[in-house]
Structure 1
C-alpha cells in the first residue's frame, strides 16, 4: 500500500503562524515524520512525503506527485486557526472533498475518532471542503489537529508528546481502515535483554481481552499471553532500550492505564 503524507505549507509560508510566533509547518512536519516512523512498522506499506523542508511545495506539484505514484491514500496534516489573534476556537476536525468519496469519508471518520480519543480534544467532526488536495486526489483527507490561535492548544501543538500522539492517532485510523498488519517482531539474539511493558494481569482471560480492546481504542498495540504463574497478562510493548519502554509506560499512565516496565 502506498501512502502519501503531506505536511501542509512550508517554513516560509506567509502567515500560518501563531500569535506567539510558532510556524504551523513546524507542527505539521513533525507529525508527518512521526507518522512515517509508525507506518514503517506495518507490512507492505510504502510512505512518501509531499512536502519539503527547503521550500513551500506548490499544491499542484504535491498532488501531481501523488497521482504519478498512484498512492492509495493522501493524508494532509495541518493545525487550525481562527482569525489572527488569541481566541476560544478549539478542537479537531477532519475534511474530505465535497462529494464525500466513500473510501475517503470512511478513512476520515476513523482518523477523526482516533484523534479525538487519543488527544481528548473537542470533536468538531468530519467536514467537507473544496480544498485542492482533496479535489485532486481520489482518496484524500485533511486533518486539523488543534488551533494555534487558542493559547491552550498552541501549547499542545508545540509539545513533542502531543505531536507524537497526533501521529499515532492518524496511523491508527489508517491501520483500522485498511486492516494493516504489523511486521513480525524479530527474534532477539541469544542473551539479548528486552524491556517489556505490562499493562495488566488477570485470573480471567476475558478481563485481559477487554483491556486489550480498550488499549487498541487508544491506539496502543497489545496482546494477551498466559504466563507460567497462570495469570493472563497484557503486554503493550518490548524494547531493547529501557528508555523507550519507560516512555511508553509514561504515555499509558497519562491515558489512565496501569503499566510498568520489567526486564526479560
Structure 2
C-alpha cells in the first residue's frame, strides 16, 4: 500500500502561525515524521511526503505527485486557526473529505476523528466536507485533518508538545491500519531516519538503563524511541531534515541536564 502524508504549508508560508509565532508547518511536519515512523512497522507499506523542508511545495505539485505515484490514500495534516490573528475560544478536532463524500474517505475520516477526539480530549467538531484542492485534485481517496487551533492558547500548548504530536500521529496511523487492514511486521525495526539528523540521548549495554532514560524523557514531554544497534540499546529523541532543528533540540536537552549527541544517519 502506498500512502502520501502531506504536512500542510511550509516554513515560509505567510500567515500560517499562532499569534505568538509558532509556525504551523512545525507541527504538521512533526506529526508526519511520527506517522511515517509508525507506518514502517506495517507490512507492504510505502510512505511518501508531499511536503519539503527546503521549500514551500505548491498545492498543484503535491497533488500531481500523488497522482503520478498512484498512491492509495492521501492524508493532509494541519493545525487550525480562527479569527483575524488574535487569540480566540475556537477549539477542537475536525476532519475533512471532499464534497462528494467518497465512501472510503468518509470511513477513514470517521475513524481518524473518533481516535483523535478520544485520545486528546479536545472538542469534537465532526467530519465535514470541503472543496479543498488536495481533496478535489487527488485521484485517490483523501482526508484533511485539523488537529487543534493555533489561535486557542490551550490548544496551542498541546500543539507545541511532542507527546501530543505523537498522539495525533498514532491516532491517524491506527485509523489507516484499521481501515485498510494493515498487518504489523513480526519484528518491527526502528524508525527509518536515513538522511536525517538524529538526536541521541544515551546508549547502554543494559536495556533497562535505556528504558529508564526513555521513561524519564517521556515524563518530561519528549517522544523517545529505544532500539538496539551494534550491541547497544540507544535512546533516540528526534530526527530532523534540518540540522538547525536538531541543534535546537540538543541545546534544550542539554540545558535540562541530558547528555545528547547529534549525528547524520
Work out whether the TM-score is over 0.5.
yes
After TM superposition, the score normalised by the length of structure 2 is 0.72
Identify if the C-alpha distance between structure 1 residues 186 and 54 changes in structure 2 by more than 3 Å, giving closer, same or farther. Answer: closer
Query: Runs (4+) of structure 1 moved beyond 3 Å?
Result: 192-195, 247-251
Q: Deviations over 1:24-70 (max 9, x none)?
A: 00000000000000000111100000000111100000000001000
Query: Paired residue for 1:51?
Result: 51
**Unmatched 5+ residue regions in structure 2?**
190-204, 221-265
Q: Deviations over 1:160-205 (max 9, x none)?
A: 1111111111101101101111100279xxxx9666xxxxxxxxxx
Say which SS state the counterpart of residue 242 (structure 1) adopts: helix
Q: In 1, are the aligned partners of 2:41 and 2:188 still within 8 Å (CA)?
A: no
Query: Paired residue for 1:158?
Result: 160
- Counterparts of 1:243 and 1:179, CA distance in 2: 34
Q: Deviations over 1:56-110 (max 9, x none)?
A: 1000000000010000000000000001110100000000000000111111111
Identify if the C-alpha distance between structure 1 residues 101 and 75 changes in structure 2 by more than 3 Å, giving closer, same or farther. Answer: same
Residue 103 (structure 1) aligned with residue 72 (structure 2)? no
Identify if the C-alpha distance between structure 1 residues 50 and 249 changes in structure 2 by more than 3 Å, giving closer, same or farther. Answer: closer
Identify if the C-alpha distance between structure 1 residues 249 and 28 changes in structure 2 by more than 3 Å, giving closer, same or farther. Answer: closer
**Unmatched 5+ residue regions in structure 1?**
196-239, 252-264
> What is the aligned length?
203
- Between Structure 1 and Structure 2, whose CA radius of gyration is higher? 1
- Counterparts of 1:244 and 1:123, CA distance in 2: 35
C-alpha displacement at 1:247, in angstroms?
6.7
Query: Paired residue for 2:119?
Result: 118
Query: Paired residue for 2:177?
Result: 175
